Structure 1
Amino acid sequence: MLDELRTAEIPGQSCPIRDVLDRIGDQWSLLVLATLAPGTRRFSQLEREIGDISKQMLSKTLRRLEQDGFVAREVHAEVPPRVEYHLTTLGRSFLEPMRELIRWAEANQAAIVAARRGETGAA
């Protein structure tokens, strides 16, 4: 598997798996993507639905996801301006792998916690 990752590298650029996981593997990105999965949301809706994220962190996370092409930001010319966020085609294409990762994490969380405690048989 590691050989597959190495052959996928583009000369002069970082490993693709590290590059992608570094961006979407932070504390908030998956939550933002999951919250946008059902459809378009305004900033305040995202903030309410995610819950314990600060405005500053939500803003930073949305900017990074937009930079990477997962999320699109649409500003409507109204007073006051209405800003909405939605998943792009790339963002929607990531939903199924993301759901698989979530399913795996849910199925294995107890074993991981047990291993952290040093309980035998966790592996």
Structure 2
Amino acid sequence: MEPTRTHKKVSDPPAGEEPGWTPVTAALAVGEALRVLEGRWKLLILFQLFGGNVRRFSELERAIPEVTQKMLAQQLRQLEADGIVRRVVHPEIPPKVEYSLTVWGQSLCPVLDALLKWSARREETPEA
């Protein structure tokens, strides 16, 4: 006869299922996601790249005229380090650098769209 176990086996949730969030772990995870988007220019950059758009650095500069070159480069580097933006350098003279969203970055589109709709509903809500 096999001994009876007194505990449940701990394992990862099946594919496609969310982990068992607690209020603390959920708050930490959302905070980390918001940290990735933190920065005055990151959302403007993302909205320029949504929909499969590929932009050169100079095109992003023109699309966001208030940003300095230094700040744009810094924000793009951070988005690249976080796996949101892909940077492709073409071996030409002068160098041609293009930016686009990774698959992970493109997956932010419906999330930010939902946040935009949530924000718009605030004006319609009587308690606001």
Separation in structure 2 between the aligned mates of residue 50 and residue 106 of structure 1, nearest angstrom: 23
CA deviation vs aligned residue, 1:33-62 (integer Å, no higher than 9, x gap) = 110113100001011112211111111110
Larger Rg: 2
Q: 1:75 to 1:35 in 2, by over 3 A?
A: same
Displacement of 1:84: 0.2
Structure 1 residue runs of 4 or more that deviate by more than 6 Å after TM superposition:
none
Separation in structure 1 between the aligned mates of residue 49 and residue 65 of structure 2, nearest angstrom: 14
RMSD: 2.2
* TM-score, length basis structure 1: 0.75
Which residue is equivalent to 1:50?
A: 64
Q: As a proportion of its length, which structure holds more helix?
A: 1
Matched, 1:65 2:79: yes
Unpaired runs of 5+ in structure 2? Answer: 1-20
Matched-pair contact (CA < 8 Å) for 2:84–2:102? yes
Displacement of 1:65: 0.4
Matched-pair contact (CA < 8 Å) for 1:5–1:16? no
Residues 91-100 or 23-32, more deviating: 23-32
* TM-score, length basis structure 2: 0.73
Q: Percent identity?
A: 39
